[in-house]
Each structure stands twice: as structure tokens, then as C-alpha cells.
Structure 1
């Protein structure tokens, strides 16, 4: 599995936070911060939108580093991704991601 697949199976290379970081795109940072703040009911600001990937060394967004329950769970369990977890099929923590993003499950099983 390529390193740019997040613990949850999402492809970091398609994430707006990653794209904004590698392209130093301030407008995309603003747009992403606004959306993520609304979706997560959290104070996420454009300056928080800097990420080089969920599972790689380097900078992470505040959300991904500190607030993402999926990432925290995977780190606690010591799994490479949720695809390595025995609870994948019944897990409520990653379940919403997998339900809304069929490609994420495919990435975890591929």
C-alpha cells in the first residue's frame, strides 16, 4: 500500500489540505479551513491547513494530528492502516468514512 493512503483509506494526494500545502495555495487553505471548521464544529483556520500526509513524517493539520479519532486509534493499536485492524468491518470510528467513500475501503483492502 502506498504511503499516501491515510489510516482511514482516504488518498492524501487527493486531500485539499495536502494539495494546498504542496502548492502553497492560500485560497485553497481558506476554503478547506472553512469547510473543515463547519464539518467538525471546530475552530480550524487557514494557517492550520498544512499537511504532508497522514502516515508520513512531516507536518500535519491540527485536525489530523490532534482531533482525528481514526488516526489516534490506529496509532494506539499500532496498525499500518485500519485495513490491518480486525474490527474494520464493524468499526464505528472509521465506518462513516468508509460509508461515504467506497474508494477508501478499496484502498485499505487493495
Structure 2
């Protein structure tokens, strides 16, 4: 199983926060913080850009750890990924991710996961 595929199907290994964390790249942290601040109209600082993967133990961005409704829901339901949820096809939270990121659905479909 690909542990770096998030609950929603996004590939953590392609996320700038993950890349900056594993390479300890301060320049990428600064660039990502500036971009995410503008996109979210919120103060995001370079020190907030640390993440070791959605489903992995370790550091998470503030959004991923505390604000992501998909991650919170999946953890509460005890599923490995959203693909394992009985509401996978009808989830309104997941729908936006899958529409904007077709590879996320492909990542989920390609995983061999099982509900706990």
C-alpha cells in the first residue's frame, strides 16, 4: 500500500510542505507559505510548512492536522482511506478534491485497502 497517499487520494510526496520537510528546504517553506497565505487569505508562516504525510505519524501542517474535514472524518470512521468509506461515491467533502484533482481518484482506486 502507498502510505503517502492521503485519505482523500492526494499524493503527499508531491506536496510542497512534505518536500520542504523531508529536504529541510527553508526556501521552499517560505515560497509555499507565501502562496498558501495568498490562496487562503490567512497568515501562514514558513514555520507552519512542515508535514510528513497525512496518514503518517509525525509532523503535519496546521491545516492537515486540525482543519482538514476529510482527514478528521476518515480518522473518526477508522478507514484507511476515503475509498474504504461506504459514502465514498456520495461524499460532498471529497467531491471537490476529486473534481479538482483527477489523479486523487486514480490514486484511491489503485490502492488495495481494507476497512479496519
Is the pair's TM-score, using the shorter chain for normalization, greater than 0.5? yes
Cα distance in structure 1, aligned partners of 2:39 and 2:89: 24
| SS of corresponding position for 1:88 | coil
- After TM superposition, list the pairs within 5 Å mapping 1:66-105 onto structure 2: 66-105=66-105
Cα distance in structure 1, aligned partners of 2:73 and 2:94: 10
Task: Give the corresponding residue for 2:44.
Answer: 44
Q: TM-score, normalised by structure 1?
A: 0.93
Task: Give the corresponding residue for 2:10.
Answer: 10
How far does the alpha carbon of each residue in 1:11-53 deviate from its partner, in whole angstroms, 9 at most, with x for none? 1111100000011111111121122223333332110100111
The unaligned stretches of length 5 or more in structure 1 are none
Q: TM-score, normalised by structure 2?
A: 0.88
Q: Does 1:57 align with 2:57?
A: yes
The unaligned stretches of length 5 or more in structure 2 are 111-116
Number of equivalenced pairs:
110
Structure with the higher helix share, 1 or 2: 1
Moved more, 34-43 or 87-96: 34-43
CA RMSD between the two structures: 1.2
